[in-house]
Amino acid sequence: MLRDIVKGIRARVPSNFVLGVKMNAADYVEGGVTEAQALGQLQAIAEWGGVDFIEISGGDYENPGT
């Protein structure tokens, strides 16, 4: 779905439009995405092309270290 969204945006904006994706480093689900799985997802997004940057966020207001 994300790839389709990126393609759709790229089809409608000028070539110099900067497009980024923000991903959370923690999914807050017990037994959720592992670090290796998250890295694989990031690598796949980078390989698609069309995305100028990927921002990785983590933690939350109450527990910024997570």
List pLDDT tens digits, range 17-64: 999 999 877 666 677 777 788 889 899 999 998 999 999 876 666 665
pTM of the model: 0.72
Instruction: Give the model's pLDDT for residue 47.
Output: 94
* Residue 66 belongs to a domain: no
Cα 37 from Cα 2, distance rounded (Å): 16
Instruction: Give the model's pLDDT for residue 34.
Output: 78
* Residue 62 belongs to a domain: no
Q: Are residues 24 and 32 in contact, defined by beta-carbon separation less than 8 angstroms? A: no
pLDDT at residue 15 above 70? yes
Instruction: Give the model's pLDDT for residue 60.
Output: 63
Please tell me which residue, 31 or 65, carries the higher pLDDT value: 31
* Residue 48 belongs to a domain: yes
Structural domain containing residue 46: 15-57
* Residue 1 belongs to a domain: no
* Number of domains the chain contains: 1
* Residue 4 belongs to a domain: no
Give, in order, the Cα–Cα distances in Å from 33 to each of 9, 27, 62, 65: 27, 7, 21, 18
* Residue 31 belongs to a domain: yes
